Structure 1
């Protein structure tokens, strides 16, 4: 099986939180600038959120006349549903769930890039890992045949990239028992031995190392190389009612991402604080935030998903990316 490039590692934890109804029109909080347009944006609960927060703190969104209100939605299907229903204006969505949704006819539009694995130093920015207990006797992906592997969500980013690694190692993915666990629960389960391996994102993988676990491998960069990781997407309601604001969001988001790339220490410190971990930012895998959204990269991801059997055919992205 020929594997095309894919950079589709997401940072997501499967814990669905309630979503508040989004604010509409050109309104703001009491005492704010009434000319600002409010956009409700979901966050994923990881270091990748840092650029958005820095953009808010540094006034980058305010410069575009936007007021950003954030809502944590750490489960990708919940984020997709919130965008689709209009409960949020913009959702942070890993690229694989976005492609799955588009392939199923869900009217989502990619608005801006969030983070990616760049062409240069690709492995350096791969912040996801398969973690095992050092006492498990598992030393390679070939040893995962018939094992229990935790992933944040079925048919999502981690299942795709782990499947690619298993196929490469000669393991039938159907022999694996896939369990949907959020990152915190997965880490505790692999430590206790109730599961054999866990897919973890930063900073959870750094915490796992601190707890004595070992990294089996980083399947995204190793198997697929450069490409998109996460994006910001909107549903039909936001696209119809707030098109101009979404264009401004794209401009501001990419500016904020560029700022985060230029101030990595500040960005990682912000991300660690947001994630609530007591670890040093230097222990966290760096993130490369996207400064543009390249339509062709979605085609590459979809082609790989098709090769691996996750899609019957590549979806048409002509109407799924904001012009």
Structure 2
């Protein structure tokens, strides 16, 4: 009798082995460590005095939302095989400046459009250079970081732009169902990003390019177009962070995006997106964002300064990179 499909898919059992050993041998070291860190942090957070209070939870939602929008864009860049970008934080700041400037002249809708367009265009220009010239993405992002800060500081005179129509923003900054508006915006970005990756031709091309640039070339894909689109979307999501920051504080300056790209990189890698590209999802990034934001809030509640947050984020990124490298070897 021909074996059934179920029997073909059953777990193989060889002499001297067991089902438990077969499963244990296939547990990934990085995933196991990630689960352990998540569990330890969750226990620590719950046991931290004040963590479950309403102000603390609102601070957690705010922190993960601002970083999360940048992380959605960073996820697309990493999945496409371009590792990471160090200019998305500056892009968010530039979008905030553009948003406030246009808002004061033409109103909220025009300001939002200007902020998103600024983020998308700045990042798309980098994607065009990287995709068409096959330039090193990290070098391009570092150069872009300097250009963004240099140009915007010259245009603004290194000054802070204040919102003239604060009442309009106050009306827009309510909490539907008790949920901060920035959290809803982050969830929207997350859903849009996952939709693009899962249900569009563009998303399939992102994974294909991330799995191997040469394979994409052999298949006849116009890689430069897809890479430009990846960076454009990443800039748009970063622009959302800039708009949310300007809306919350009723002003904008080029200091707003400092550190956000590093936090986003940490969240993406901790969540499980492969640093070489081609493997990952927005849901993994969501898990990484929650972990990093929870760690920041716990550190603040224990009185640690912001420098410690940067130190821990850097150590986490370094650890994940080392473990992923060992897994590939």
Q: TM-score range by the shorter chain?
A: under 0.3
Choose between structure 1 and 2: higher strand proportion: 1
Choose between structure 1 and 2: higher helix proportion: 2
Q: Which is greater in Rg? A: 2
**TM-score under structure 1 length normalisation:** 0.27
